[in-house]
Amino acid sequence: MSYFIVYAVTLVASLAMDGTWLALTNKPIYQPVMGPLMLPHFNVAPAAVFYALFPVGLMIFAIVPALKTGSFGHALLYGALLGAFAYMTYDLTNFATLKHWTLPLTLIDIAWGTVLCGAASSIAYLVAPLLGAKFTG
């Protein structure tokens, strides 16, 4: 049950933050660069797979080890690092291969992935135990 609690908190936190980020930044930041690359309609299935699975990575590498050792710093640092590396993979690949992909978009999106994942991991570390999640080292 503890793993489910951590998963649920991480999922809700990451969806809320990323949804807010995308709602606020889509038009001013992403559409000017990605507009010609974007589908006319949002494809829900791949997004659902990403949002369902990415919290598992945060749990494995950041949150559960942090809860087992009682280290908020581990949750924050390793969550942020996983976000940085994941978003860096996407953004640097796009910057290397797509004609109109820009350096500013690359840097903004990597920074956002770092903040998002560090924050989601930190929130899960703080909230999950309040909801009954327990781990021992």
Please state the pTM of the whole predicted model: 0.94
Position 63, amino acid: I
Q: In this predicted structure, what is the pLDDT of residue 15?
A: 97
- For the chain, first and last CA: distance in Å? 17
Q: Are 120 and 13 in contact (CB under 8 A)?
A: yes
At residue 42, the pLDDT reads 85
Two structure tokens written together for 114:
């770092």
- Output 75-79 pairs: Cβ under 8 A, ≥24 positions apart: 75/121, 75/122, 75/124, 75/125, 76/118, 76/121, 76/122, 76/125, 77/118, 78/121, 79/117, 79/118, 79/119, 79/120, 79/121, 79/122
Give the residue carrying structure tokens 């290397």. Answer: 96
Q: What is the pLDDT of residue 128?
A: 97
Domain ranges (residues) in the chain: 2-131
**Alpha carbons 62 and 105: distance in angstroms, whole number:** 26
The conformation of residue 38, written as its DSSP 8-state character, comes to S
- What integer pLDDT is reported at residue 35 of this predicted model? 86
Distance of CA 45 to the CA centre of its chain: 17
pLDDT in tens for each of the 137 residues of the chain? 999 999 999 999 999 999 999 999 999 999 999 888 888 888 999 999 999 999 999 999 999 999 999 999 999 999 999 999 999 999 999 999 999 899 999 999 999 999 999 999 999 999 999 999 999 87
